[in-house]
A and B are shown apart, each in its own frame.
Chain A
Amino acid sequence: MVFRKFILLVLLVGAFSILSGCKEEADSLTIGFIPLKEKEVMLEEYKPIQNYLEENLDFPVNIEIMDNYANLVKGMENESIDIGYFGAFSYIAAESQMPLTPLIVEERKVTGIYYQSFIISRSDSNLKTIDDLKGKKFAFVDSGSTSGFVLPYALFKSRSIEMDNYFSGIHYSGSHVGVLEDLKNSIVDAGAISSIQYEQLLEDGEIREEDYTIIWESPEIPGSPYVARSELDQKLQENFVEAMLTIHQEIPDELSQYDRSLEKFVKIENKDYNSIRNISTILGKEYMVNYFLQDK
């Protein structure tokens, strides 16, 4: 009967959809972060978002602040982290190690998804140009940090500056706030820091604008993306994105408390990160990636 034909079709279609939908099931979500500031502070500040996510996704959300940028990549690799909050460069480095799906990125009120790398010095140290930094001590954030390493490194390269010879000492502070701390405490004479962190510190009143000089500003760099392991449950990824895209409507107060400059989250376009990719290509990608990833 015709009926039988129908059943056959339905079965075929059904089989297909079942097969395609087969990905791993998850029962909890772990989000890993690059160390922007002290762990406890980051955890504290992220709490409202964490709660919001837990409510929305209807299962536990764990937050992990990594010790360094490389560990985030490693955590994604061994699947202990499901979604990572990367810097642009650390994302590109991770991309070369495993299949990743970029989900969302922060859109800022003024600068959109872009920010800058600053090289700053204490105003009282009278260091005003890159040339002034010769023989001085310099602080980077982390060899994986876009604003805290890669762009300054590109700058030095373009000016044919051999970092090890040029500076009297190179220090890796571990976080953006750490760079400022080291600068404040005169452990270093200048350092690289992300414009977002710098401005946040200013806004929070941690620092005073007049105390510091921005020696150099980089061109625009795309902001830090939330990236998921590609194998993570599709539904979970979708739900997460859905939740984050509407967070500015759901909990606007908590969001601005977390980060005043943050407007909302938007979906990532992969091409936005081409500029960073290209820079690392020009600089010598293999070297850069390995340097970063092997660094512990």
Chain B
Amino acid sequence: MRQRGIRFWALMSIITISFITTVLFVFLSYTSISKSLKNQYIHESESVLQQSTNYFSYQFLNVENILEKLSEELTVESDNIFGTLQFYEQLIPSSSTIFMGLENGKYYYSSKQLYPKSYKVVEQEWYKNINKSEGVTWTKPYMDYLTPEIIISASMPITHNGLHGVVAIHFKIDKISEMISESRIGEDGLVMLLDGNGTILANRDNYLIGESIIHPQQEKLLEQSFDQLVPYSIDNKEYLIQTKAISQNGMSILTAISEEELRNELVKSLLPIVLTGILSLLIFGTMAYVGLLKVIKPLKKLIDLMSSVELGNYNVYAKEKDYLEVHQLTKGFNSMIHGLKKRDQELNHTYNEIKKTEKQLRVKYEELKESEEKIQHLAAYDSLTGLLNRRSIMQLLNQTIENNNGELYKAIIFLDLDNFKTVNDSLGHSTGDHLIVEVAQRLNNLTAKRKDVARISGDEFILICHDLHSESESEQIAQEITALFEEPIIIDSKQLNVTASVGVAIYPSHATTTEELLKIADMAMYQAKHFGKNCYKVFDETVKREVDEKVEIELGIGECLRNNKFELFFQPLFNVQQGRVTNVEALLRTKSSALSKFNIFQIIQTAEITGQILEIDQWVIREACRSIQRINEHMEDPLHISVNISALHIMQQDFVKNIKTILEETGVEPGWIDLEITETSLMESFDLNIAKLFELKELGISLHLDDFGTGYSSLNYLNRLPIDHVKIDKSFVDKMLQSEKDSKMVETIIALSHNIGLQVVAEGVEHEDQFELLASYQCELIQGYYISKPVNYETIIRFIQNQNINHMSI
């Protein structure tokens, strides 16, 4: 809504007030004037009425008197008659005539006119009109015989002095009207003489003579008019009438006030007043308005000053004058401005300070931004090599898959450095870092054009090569990578032979999601690892199959562990010297249908990867302890049982504790327990493991070194290990009979072992020849199909019992 100024409101209020005042004023003046005017007229009408009534009463009385007198005085004698008539004529209004008519047709009259012979007096109205009651009767208005003017006659019968006739006085109506016309009621008011029937006898200006004033439904009104003022219409005009009776003859006087005249008079009187009123209102309104404007003026000035203040000019000052309210306002205004000025200065000062602070903040902000950028960079990149980190490469892979719109392939390559740990451990972390950096550089220098290289963990890298035109290109790349590592890396003038295992997944052939691709590359790489050092494997069905197998086995193992589907098989070890079985090796077997299609080797391998081997080992150990206890219950010479321990198991911190716990649980004699550990398992974390071995030894457990001859051990280590037996690997036994060299080898191994106080177990003996040869070499224990294949518990019990029997019998 638009804001309206004082002018508008002032104008509105002035107009409204003026309007209301005018209306009231007009209304009041109207009512008062109309009342007074009406009263004026009524007063006039009443007085006229009274006057006229009196006058006519008097006149008619006079007439009656004269007629009476005449009727008495008239005698038969003619000159007497005429003289009398003349005499009395003087007493009546002029232009009236006195007539006397006799029964015999003679007539006498007072005027000078001549009446024609045809005039028959007895036939005349006035003669006939008498009633026998001897009083005066009046005719209706009728036309005079001679002229014909309208006359009215008052007649009276004469019945004395020998005369029989009528004496009458004729009045000219227009003369009566003249008389009545002398009275006025306003301009258009009427004064009229009515006869008993309401016929107009005389009227102002001779108006409506002979007409009846009576309207059909209005007799009542007419009656009322004798008492009060009554509205009545005469000749289609509205009047307010009053009547008064003239007692003698049933006539009456009627006064009528013209309503139209009344109204006109009212308007006429009212108009000047109203106009004056309006005029004065206009004048005063204008004056009020002008006055108001004057009052507003100082406010307006203030408003103008305010506007310049808005624009920032605080140097204004309003003059304090005029009247009180404005004065106060002005004072307030000035002090406000002063206050504003001061505050303005303070604000400026503060503003400058803020600006300074702002500058400082800005600097800090820039610094922060820099740090943020750095952090972001750190978050995305590997700090050592400058390559992408795991997070970024994964994001990148996600995005590149999303945005991929071509038919080109991508290769996702997993790269794992073999034996990086060894380098780090043996040559130190600094060398290790340099190595990683060098690898990263070499990878970056690969010929593949569009590639992204990331270091995802210590010695693992991921490469993504985009826009390959065929799958074989990825293989080329993998070859190139492995080729990189054929050159030795020189760090700090040390020559390092580093190899890598590479796994390749191809998008979109092998998979289309990031997780899948990474998993597949990882699987492939893992397979490559098993091929040996510096190998690559591109994912194919075999990888998948293997992985699927692994998963299946893992699940199967889990199920077996839960549902106790593992069982121990036992393979006896024949003691050559004693000529009997003195040891059994506990071997893991499973009855589970889930694992039925896999051999135990696969199962164990998988378990070693998944870590389930720990649980398995625990179970095996425990079960072995229990079993040997049962076996040895009935044995004079207790047997030993040997259990295979995985490298993973050994590496566990609580390895020894576990063994201890199991021994205690089962309550088995520790001396019956042999643990078989492979060379390779021991070699990793050598120092740590040694301590554990010594601990075990203290418990009374014997240790066998498995797969002896196949590992990386040096003879030095051999000396330091607290082992009892070494087991010659099956491969030696197989080749033993093939050549001299081979048999010599075995012989040497056995001799060597003996020299350092170790006993030897030969594995995989299948033929008697082998047996004989080994026996000749002084091999202490023989294990193999030649003795027995691994059998279940019941079978081994029987075997041992039989053996006892046999032995007994030897």
B208: Cβ under 8 A from any A Cβ = yes
Candidates B117, B146, B147, B209; contact of A274 at CB < 8 Å: B209
Q: Give min CB distance, B431 to chain A, whole Å.
A: 102
Contact A271 B118 (CB under 8 A): no
A56: Cβ under 8 A from any B Cβ = no
B303: Cβ under 8 A from any A Cβ = no
A22: Cβ under 8 A from any B Cβ = no
| Closest partner residue, chain B, to A2 (CB atom) | B286
Q: In the complex, A282→B200 CA distance in Å?
A: 11
Binds B, one of A152-160, A243-251, A252-260: A152-160
Q: In the complex, A116→B173 CA distance in Å?
A: 19
Contact B206 A271 (CB under 8 A): yes
| Closest partner residue, chain A, to B140 (CB atom) | A282
| Closest partner residue, chain A, to B149 (CB atom) | A219
Candidates A129, A154, A160; contact of B123 at CB < 8 Å: A160
| A271-B142 contact, Cβ under 8 Å, with A2-B289, A158-B148 | no
| A5-B145 contact, Cβ under 8 Å, with A131-B118, A281-B208 | no
Contact B208 A278 (CB under 8 A): yes
B207: Cβ under 8 A from any A Cβ = yes
B372: Cβ under 8 A from any A Cβ = no
> Scoring B residues 13 to 40 as 1 if CB is less than 8 Å from chain A, else 0, what string do you get?
0010010000000000000000000000
Contacting residues, chain B, for A158 (C-beta < 8 A): 142-148
B141: Cβ under 8 A from any A Cβ = yes
Contacting residues, chain A, for B15 (C-beta < 8 A): 5
- The interface of chain A, by Cβ under 8 A from chain B, is 1-2, 5-6, 9, 129-131, 151, 154-155, 157-160, 218-219, 271, 274-275, 277-279, 281-283
Contact A277 B148 (CB under 8 A): no
Please indicate which of the listed interface residues B18, B148, B149, B289 has the most CB atoms of chain A within 10 Å of its own CB: B148
Q: In the complex, A285→B174 CA distance in Å?
A: 19
Contact A274 B205 (CB under 8 A): yes
Q: Tell me the number of A-to-B contacts counted with CB atoms below 8 Å.
A: 76
| Closest partner residue, chain A, to B123 (CB atom) | A160
Contact A282 B150 (CB under 8 A): yes
B285: Cβ under 8 A from any A Cβ = yes
Tally B residues with Cβ within 8 Å of A: 33
Contact B207 A274 (CB under 8 A): yes
Contact B211 A281 (CB under 8 A): yes
Q: In the complex, A282→B205 CA distance in Å?
A: 16
| Closest partner residue, chain B, to A6 (CB atom) | B282
Q: In the complex, A219→B144 CA distance in Å?
A: 11
Candidates A2, A219, A271, A279; contact of B205 at CB < 8 Å: A271
Contacting residues, chain A, for B285 (C-beta < 8 A): 2, 5
Contacting residues, chain B, for A279 (C-beta < 8 A): 143, 148, 150
| Closest partner residue, chain A, to B206 (CB atom) | A274
Please indicate which of the listed interface residues A9, A159, A218 has the most CB atoms of chain B within 10 Å of its own CB: A159
- The interface of chain B, by Cβ under 8 A from chain A, is 7, 11, 15, 18, 116-119, 123, 141-150, 173-174, 205-211, 278, 282, 285-286, 289
Q: In the complex, A8→B214 CA distance in Å?
A: 49
Q: Give min CB distance, B798 to chain A, whole Å.
A: 134
Q: In the complex, A48→B15 CA distance in Å?
A: 61
Contacting residues, chain B, for A283 (C-beta < 8 A): 143
26 A-B contacts (beta carbon < 8 Å): A1-B7, A2-B282, A2-B285, A5-B15, A5-B282, A5-B285, A130-B118, A131-B118, A154-B143, A154-B148, A155-B143, A155-B147, A155-B148, A157-B148, A158-B142, A158-B144, A158-B147, A159-B119, A159-B145, A160-B123, A219-B149, A271-B206, A274-B205, A277-B207, A279-B148, A281-B210
Q: Give min CB distance, B722 to chain A, whole Å.
A: 124
| Closest partner residue, chain A, to B114 (CB atom) | A129
Contact B142 A282 (CB under 8 A): yes
Contacting residues, chain B, for A281 (C-beta < 8 A): 208-211
Contact A129 B116 (CB under 8 A): yes
| A131-B116 contact, Cβ under 8 Å, with A271-B205, A275-B206, A278-B150 | yes
Q: Give min CB distance, B182 to chain A, whole Å.
A: 15
Contact B143 A277 (CB under 8 A): no
Q: Give min CB distance, A184 to chain B, whole Å.
A: 26
| Closest partner residue, chain B, to A217 (CB atom) | B147
